[in-house]
Amino acid sequence: MNKKTVRDIDVTRKRVLVRADLNVPFAPDTTTITDDGRIRAGLPTLHYLRERGARIILCSHLGRPNGRVVDGLSLKPVAQRLEQLLGQPVAFTRNCIGTEVEEAIAALNPGQLLLLENLRFHQEEEENDTAFARALASLAEVYVNDAFGTAHRVHASTEGVAHYMPAVAGLLMEQEIEMLGRTLEHPRRPLCAVMGGAKVSDKLGVLEHLLPRVNGLLIGGGMAATFLRAIGHPVGASLLEKDKVDLAAGILHQAEELGISFGLPQDVVVAETFSAESPSKVVSVDQIPDGWHIMDIGPQTVQSFQERLRKCCTILWNGPLGVMEYKRFAEGTTAIANLLANLTDATTIIGGGSTAEAVAVMGLADRMTHVSTGGGASLEFLEGRELPGIAVLLDKEVA
């Protein structure tokens, strides 16, 4: 990684503005956090700063309030959870700029932490408004971006603020860049990518970028329907991107030319309607009934995918292999997750988003080598794009 990190800059007793990704899920109509993984992921950076007596000003977004104050999207419950995890008080302000914030910062002692209210209560945040970015920058002497999950956004707190003060990566940001970057450029081989999710269009850039880099590619989820149609199979009423069938065929042809082991479902679980309670059955991919929906990969496919993955040294997985929101159609995803969790000699990288949520719900996140905190950011990174929130950080000096 050629970007400076918090280790490369003096933060001792300084005011440090930390952009974190505290966009955590809550139980419906409550302030109960259902998964604090993103909060925990940022703790190493906070511990590092506390140990050096920095005055920490933490900021984040939560949800999509669209520039309005929404009580249900306040970060106050996150401040309370942070207090529990850190074992020390966490101050909280009802705004992220202004007199109240400035007074709270002035009251901070070395090693203490202040969490600002939801940045997106101000529409200027997502607009990357210059005045708003300057106001945030005026709060501190150093900026640390530890929010990989928002690094693909050109917002005031992720890109704009870095133009007005020394800007470096946090320890989580560093880990994300190094783990995903190493997987793309210097993996232990064989390297296999497992790609799922609903649409080929969502992963097209990733597939094209990965093809020359992987030894194997396995396809599941809703996007498999487009690939199955590309080789002539019926897909019933499954989600089909007709305008992407030729592109899918092209990817299959390119994989063959490159000598990449390409795996598509051999059998699938289909349902009469797209619902949790619909009648379902397992069929071969050449026997999908008219009007039925592909809901999961079938048992033969699970076994085939597992056999291939056991031979790999590095595995990158992005996207569920079935309709995860319905438990009875999550068996394929669960089986692959359990296999990866038990591969003691393989490097297993979970590419964020719904896949990261799935392994967290299963209690398997700690048994993966790395679970990315980025959804869209992970996809854009894996496509080979430069992320604005990373590009704006200070470069390391070349020796």
**How is the chain split into domains, by residue range?**
6-174, 187-382
| CB neighbour list of residue 106: distance below 8 Å, 6 or more residues apart | none
d(CA 166, CA 152): 20
CA neighbor of 82 nearest in space, from 27, 40, 31, 143:
40
d(CA 268, CA 264): 10
Please report the pLDDT score of residue 375 as a whole number: 84
Please report the pLDDT score of residue 399 as a whole number: 63
Give me the residues of the chain with pLDDT under 70, please: 1, 399
**Amino acid in the structure at residue 305:** F
d(CA 269, CA 283): 6
Return the residue matching tokens 């002539």: 232
Q: Do 201 and 244 touch, CB atoms closer than 8 A? A: yes
pTM (whole model) above 0.85: yes
Active site positions, annotated: 38, 199, 353, 376
Distances (CA, A) of 138 to 102, 154, 360: 9, 19, 37
Q: Which two tokens mark 159?
A: 């890109």
187-382, what's its fold?
A: Rossmann fold (3.40.50)
Q: Which two tokens mark 135?
A: 């106001």
Q: Do 20 and 42 touch, CB atoms closer than 8 A? A: yes
- Architecture (CATH level 2) of domain 6-174: 3-Layer(aba) Sandwich (3.40)
